[in-house]
Copies of this chain bind each other. A is one copy, B any other.
Amino acid sequence: MLTISQLAAYAGVTVRAVRHYHQIGLLPEPERDASGYRRYSAGAVVSLIRIRILANAGVPLSQIGQMLEADASTFAAAVEEIDRQLGDEIARLAASRKQIAQLAAGDRLALAPEVTTYLDRLRDIGVSERVVAGERDSWILMSARWPDRVREWMPSKIAQLDDPQLIRLYRILSDIFESDTGDDTLLVEAADILASLADQAYRSGEIDLGEVAQDDLPFDLLDALAVEADPRVKRLLDLMRERGWDGLARLERLAEPST
């Protein structure tokens, strides 16, 4: 007759584990001795070992009871099922691991390499960290909504950074948002450039987001994000509206230009 700690030691488990198996009915409660101690027979050792073998193999405790009672074919089917689940779990973790290997620095978080290239190009051009951070957050939102399309768009976005007008625009924006002044002339200039670029794109038919443009929410979010980052963006939106354009992330013609 064994005590609970002897039983546990023999099977290589903790006393607590044995009591847990009793609680969930996996291992039957043995007789008690005069002082209320559990006293185990040799058969209990065998039962416990059999339980642990299945548990070590990754079988949930809730299934072990049935498995130990099952006939050979049922057992085999259960084994197969468990094996499948383990395979799934491993695949999940392996995917996680791949993911995390990608997460080197803060910028890369959530972003395809093409996007980080784009952000680095912005820095090269002299765009301020604050504005780059805004761009980064915008692309995080875009990537969440259209994870696959973003990579397609980047080459042309990067190419556009060669346009002196766009460079000038980004530098002005950097100046605005790095300063604490409410200097309106810079904002007006930015709006002029932006409207000019929009006109060009409109005339050349460049604006073609396809079905993407159907979904307003992401673009509304992007504009809202910009306003949250700096309230002066609200003024910029007003200036754009005066020039016949609505929005910022996605510019929409309000009326035909007055030529």
The docked-state distance in angstroms from the alpha carbon of A224 to that of B46 is 12
B224:A41 contact, CB within 8 angstroms: yes
The docked-state distance in angstroms from the alpha carbon of A45 to that of B110 is 13
Per-residue B-contact encoding for A46-82, CB less than 8 Å = 1, 0 else = 1001100110111100000000000010011001001
The docked-state distance in angstroms from the alpha carbon of A94 to that of B56 is 11
A103:B54 contact, CB within 8 angstroms: yes
A103:B79 contact, CB within 8 angstroms: yes
A43:B225 contact, CB within 8 angstroms: yes
B72:A100 contact, CB within 8 angstroms: no
Q: Which residue of B lies closest to A225 (CB)?
A: B42
* Dominant secondary structure of chain A at its interface with chain B: helix
- The count of residues in chain A whose C-beta lies closer than 8 Å to any C-beta of chain B is 53
Interface centre among A45, A59, A228 (most CB of B within 10 A): A45
Q: Which residue of B lies closest to A76 (CB)?
A: B104
Interface centre among A11, A87, A144, A145 (most CB of B within 10 A): A144
A105 within 8 A of B: yes
A45:B221 contact, CB within 8 angstroms: yes
The docked-state distance in angstroms from the alpha carbon of A137 to that of B48 is 12
B58:A100 contact, CB within 8 angstroms: yes
A127 within 8 A of B: no
A89 within 8 A of B: yes
B83:A87 contact, CB within 8 angstroms: no
- Find A87's partner among B72, B97, B103, B137 (CB 8 Å cutoff): B97
Residues from chain B with Cβ under 8 Å of A137 in the complex? 43, 46
Q: State whether A141 and B228 are in contact (beta carbons under 8 Å apart), knowing that A58-B99, A75-B106 are contacts in the complex.
A: no
The docked-state distance in angstroms from the alpha carbon of A217 to that of B2 is 10
Residues from chain B with Cβ under 8 Å of A254 in the complex? none
A207 within 8 A of B: no
- Find A50's partner among B94, B140, B228 (CB 8 Å cutoff): B140
Instruction: Name 17 extra pairs, CB < 8 A, besides A46-B140, A76-B104.
Output: A2-B221, A10-B221, A42-B221, A42-B224, A42-B225, A45-B225, A46-B137, A49-B110, A53-B103, A53-B109, A56-B99, A57-B97, A76-B105, A83-B101, A86-B93, A90-B94, A90-B97
